[in-house]
Structure 1
C-alpha cells in the first residue's frame, strides 16, 4: 500500500503566508534597517504595568486561572467599556490570550463550514483567513480609495444577503485607517437585525482616533445585549503591550459558558501575572492613551505631508489606527518593491498585497514612531524614488 506524504488539510495548505513577515525576513542580518513593517509602537510598555506583572510573579501567581479570566480583570474591562459605551456587564466579558485569539474564538463560536462571511477590506490578513480556516466562504467588499479611505455602504448592504452568517468590520481599520461612522453603524445594525446576520467587530484600534473623540464609534454604543454582536479587543495598541498577548471579547451573556469551553480547548486561560498587568493598565493607563494619541497624531500629520510631497505617491489621511496606506504609481508588485526597499534603502514597509489582492499597488507604513525616525525613513524613500527605483 502506497502512503501519501504527510500533509495539512488543503484549506491550511492554501493559506497565504504572511508577506509582511517575508519582507521582515529579508531584512534579517542587514544593519541599519528602519522597521516600519509591523503594527507595533517603538516604545516599551510603561514601568507601572511591568511592575504589576513582577509583583504578581513575586507573589507566586503562576497557576491556572479561570477560563473566562480572573474576576478583577473582567470587572475592570466592563467598567472601562461602560465609561466609553454605556453599560457593559462583566458577565459579557471574557479575557483571551491576545486579540488574535479573541478573533479566532469568536469565529469558532459563530462560523461553520460552508457559511458565507462578508468582510470589509483591505484587511489584516489574519482576520480574513480565520473564517477560511473554519471552512467558510469569505466575500470581500473593498473600501474606496480617495482623499480618505471610504466605505460604499450600499455595496456592503447589498452583499449582506439573507443567509449570510456574519460580517467582519475592523474600524479603525488596519491597514487603511478608515473609521466607520455612527450613521453607517446604525444602518448596518438594522440590516443585520432584519436578516439575522452576526456582526464581528474588531475594535482593537478604537482609542486611536484623531478627531478629538475619546474613541471611535462602536457597535457597543447602539446594540442591545441581545443583538448578534461580538467584539474583539486587545491590550496591544492602546497600552503599548504588544508582546504581552492579552485581549478580551464581549459577547451575549447566554453564550459565555460555551465561550469558556472554547477557551479551554484553545489556550485554557491567560496567565495570571499578565492579567494583573492588564488590570493596572486599565486603571492607571488613561495618561498613556492620551500621550500615545497625541504622539501618533503628530506622526501621522508629519508623514502624510512628507509622502504627498514625493512624486508618484498618493497618501490618504487616515482617521484612525496607526498606519498610512498609500499608492505608488505604476507599482504592481509591492512585495518585490518592499524587498528592494529593505535591501537598497534600508527601509522596512509592508506590501499592500499582504492585505489581499485589493491591497496590491499600495504600501503600509506604521507611523507609531518618533518624528526623527519617520523623517529618516521618508528621506530614504525619497532617495529611492529619485534613483533607479
Structure 2
C-alpha cells in the first residue's frame, strides 16, 4: 500500500504571498522593456523627476567615496550630522521644531513608511487610508499587522477627504489615520484650515497620524504644503512624519528617506532597522546632507518645469470627450476620470475597466499609464508629468487620437 500523499506544501508564506506587486513600478518596467525591444513607448507611469541630481550633490557623493571614514559601518539610525541637518531643514521648511534624536534615516520613503507602521501597530489595529492612495500604503500596513480602512474621495471634492468621512470610518479599533498632502496619485493639496481640522479631530479621539510630506516643495498656483504637527502642536506626541530627498532633489535612486516622530517610536524603528538593513549607504547619506543643507534654487527650477507641464497635460486631457481631469495643486501627477469612456468601442474593443483601458492605450497608442485600480479607485488613470515636454505632448497626443475613435 502506498504512503498517503502529503498535503500541498505552501512554498511562500501567506503574509508575503498576499502582497501585490507595485503597480507603478510594474508599468514602468513594462514600458522600459518595450522600449528596449524597439517600440516607441512613452511612459507616464513612474513617479520620478526626469532631471539629473544637481551637480553639487553628486560631487559631495564623489568626495565621500574617497573618504575611508565612509567605508565602514556607521550608526544604524543615520549619520549624526545628517540627522541634525534634517532637524534644521524641517524647521526651515515647515516651521516644525524637532531634535536630531527624533530622526531615523531610512533606505528611502518606503522603508520609512513600513518601519513607522511596524513601530506602532499591533495585529488588528485599523489605519484609516484616504483613497485614491499610493499603492505602497495598504501593503505596508498589512505587513505591519494592521488593517487598512479606505475612505474614498473623488474629483468632486478635489480628492480631499473630510473630517465627517474620517469620523464615519472610525471604530474602536482605529489607531492611526494616514494624511498625505500633496498627494500621490492625485496631486491634491489640503488647505491649512483643512489640515488643522483633521489634526484637531485626531487629537480629540487620541489617534496617531502618519503624515507623508515627500512632495512638500512641489506645489503650484498659490497652494502651500502645510505640515500637520506644525499647525497642530497638540498632535506632536502621536505624529510621525515621513519624508526624503527623492522627489525634491531628483534623487529617487539614491534611496534616502527619514522618519520624524516621538523619541520612543523612533528608537523602536531604529532597533528594527538595525536588524533589517543597518545603516543607509554612507555615500547616499552624504549626498542627502548636501541636498538638505543646500539652497532650493534647483528645486525651484524643476518646479517651474513641472508647473508648465501640469498646465499642458490638464488642458490636453480635458480636450478628450469622456475624460475629466481636475487641475492638481501639487506633486507631479494628474488623475483624470475616464468613466465616460468605459464600455465604448475603441478599435474593436470595449474596455469595461480602467485596467482594460490602460492596456488598450499601451497596445494601440504605445503609451504607458497606470489604472486607478492600483490606487483603490477604478475608473481613473494616473499619469506622471515628470517627463520631457516633447514626450509629454507626443504621448498625450497619441492618447487623444486613440480615444477620439470611441463610439457608443
TM-score in terms of structure 2 length: 0.89
How many equivalent pairs are there? Answer: 386
Output one character per residue of 1:106-133: Cα deviation in whole Å (capped at 9) or x when no partner. 0010111111111111101111111112
Q: 1:76 aligns with which of 67, 74, 85?
A: 85
8 Å Cα contact 2:120-2:265 kept in structure 1 = no
- Residue number in structure 2 paired with 1:227: 237
| RMSD of equivalent CA atoms | 1.9
For the pair shown, the structure with the greater C-alpha radius of gyration is 2
Task: Tell me the distance in 1 between the aligned counterparts of 2:66 and 2:282.
Answer: 12
332, 335, 340: which one aligns with 2:360 = 340
**Does the 8 Å CA contact 1:166/1:197 hold for their aligned counterparts?**
yes
Q: Is the 8 A contact 1:147 1:316 kept in 2?
A: no
Q: Residue in 2 aligned with 1:290? A: 300
Work out whether residues 313 and 392 of structure 2, in 8 Å CA contact, stay in contact via their aligned partners in 1.
Answer: yes
Within a 5 Å distance, the mapping from 1:1-389 to structure 2 comes to 2-27=6-31, 28=33, 29-60=37-68, 61-86=70-95, 87-146=97-156, 148-212=158-222, 215-224=224-233, 226-328=236-338, 329-331=340-342, 332-356=352-376, 359-387=377-405
Contact residue 74 and residue 90 of structure 1 kept, 8 A: yes
Q: Matches of 1:324 and 1:124 in 2, distance apart?
A: 13
Q: Contact 1:205 / 1:320 at 8 angstroms: preserved in 2?
A: yes
Deviations 1:274-314 (A, max 9, x none): 10000111122411111121111111011111111111110
Name the CA distance, whole Å, in 1 between partners of 2:151 and 2:258. 27
* Larger RCO of the pair (alpha carbons < 8 Å, separation 6+): 1
Structure 1 residues 263 and 196: CA distance shift in structure 2, 3 A: same
Deviates more, 1:253-262 or 1:374-383: 253-262
Change in Cα spacing, 1:295 to 1:81, as seen in structure 2 (3 Å) is same
Does the aligned pair in 2 maintain the 1:147–1:317 contact within 8 Å?
Answer: no
Long gaps (5+) in structure 1: none
Superposed displacement of residue 250, structure 1: 0.4
Compared CA separation, residues 94 and 30, structure 1 to 2 (3 A): same
Between the aligned partners of 1:298 and 1:176, the Cα distance in structure 2 is 17
Once the two structures are superposed, what CA deviation does each residue of 1:69-89 show, in whole Å capped at 9, x if it has no partner?
A: 111111111111111233222
Contact 2:124 2:173 in 1 (8 A): no
Distance in 2 (CA, whole Å) between partners of 1:296 and 1:142 is 27
Q: Which residue of structure 1 aligns with residue 346 of structure 2?
A: none
Q: Distance in 2 between matches of 1:201 and 1:69?
A: 21
**Distance change (3 Å), C-alpha of 1:73 and 1:39:** same
- Distance (Å, rounded) in 2 between the aligned partners of 1:314 and 1:194: 37
Query: How far apart, in 1, do the equivalents of 2:295 and 2:117 lie?
Result: 30
